[in-house]
Structure 1
């Protein structure tokens, strides 16, 4: 699990593709401190497993499902990527619950300056994901924990302070670029429970309903 607070901006050093499978080598010095084989590192919001490493880089494999669901297949040598190690128990939880399980991708529509911030408007490639996105709720964009400031029929907007922009690879992205999106896991679980349909042969349906949640202060 991650928090969405990027620790380091790494650089793609090597990429090998075989169909929809990839092997990548990422240049990094901070997130490799104390790393062990099998550890998880978030790369642009995608949880990957470290398969080898040295002091200045680590390697990971990308399977077809990840290839198809994320924007990692667009990476080229030299590209900058956001990196975060899995959170430690007892550490400060500065962002929100991020699994590193990308729900889909979006395309930056506009990038505009608003006083001391930069506002990105992003069109969601799978509009069904917007059911999990609410104004002032949490969203993960390329592994960065951000707050949604607005939504429309097929877009969401986030506002980013100068520090966050300068410390992440989002500073290099502009209109037309794709980003990885992970929606708030709490919303996904609530939605699944409310709309889950058991097979006819299964046990009786759960009594958990929208009305029940509202009556008991959950909604």
Structure 2
């Protein structure tokens, strides 16, 4: 689990078809502090497992599916990648919950400075992630937690407002129009979609819903009243 707050920018090299080497700027890089074998590190938003620790980086393997669904297999040698170590118990959560499981890709359309921010637009968004893009919702772009400022009805185009420090300290500043980026939709949206589409189908699921909502705070009298719908969520303050 990650927060989408990038800690540093590293460089990626392809040691073999499925083995990647990530080099950090310094040996004191925050991503390397306390690093251990088996740790999870987000590389441009993709959760990878540390297989070997180096003086200034680490080696990780990427599956064929990961390389196919993300940009990692398409980056040039020494390509710039955003890095974030996994969330630790007690750490501050300043972005939003990011799993490191990329849903799809999109393309940079434009990045324009405006006032005290950058307006960055993305197009060609994969349908698998476009469905979770909503105005003022959260989106992870190359592992960066961003807020959607505007979007099309289908979600295949969206715009974000990026503050200068985020633009300067991530690989957003290296992107050129047409470059691909990794995208991950908000995990909360995925659960809401599943509940509203299918609803709980078992007695156990209904009991779990009552436990989450708190029976004493609802008007639920019977498990059959717990059909998880948009109306139900709105009634109980979740929409």
TM-score, normalising length: structure 2: 0.83
Structure 1: gaps (5+ residues): none
**Structure 2: stretches of 5+ with no match in the other structure:** 207-223
Q: Which residue of 2 aligns with 1:11?
A: 11
| 4+ aligned runs moved over 6 Å, structure 1 | 203-206
Question: Contact 1:97–1:185 at 8 Å: present in 2 too?
Answer: yes
Q: Which has the larger radius of gyration?
A: 2
In the other structure, the counterpart of 1:190 is 192
Q: Residue 32 of structure 1 aligns with which residue?
A: 32
Distance 1:216 1:124 in 2: 36
Which residue does the alignment assign to 2:143? 143
Which residue is 1:179 aligned to?
181
Deviations 1:74-103 (A, max 9, x none): 112111100000011111111110110111
How large is the RMSD of aligned CA atoms in angstroms? 1.9
Q: CA deviation at 1:64?
A: 1.4
Aligned length: 212
More strand by share: 1
Q: Quick check: 1:211 aligned with 2:213?
A: no
Which residues in structure 2 correspond to 1:1-219 (within 5 Å)? 1-17=1-17, 22-28=18-24, 29=27, 30=29, 31-152=31-152, 153=154, 154-196=156-198, 207-219=227-239
Report the CA distance between 1:196 and its aligned residue: 2.5
Q: Distance between the aligned counterparts of 1:54 and 1:129, measured in 2? A: 34
TM-score, normalised to structure 1, is: 0.90
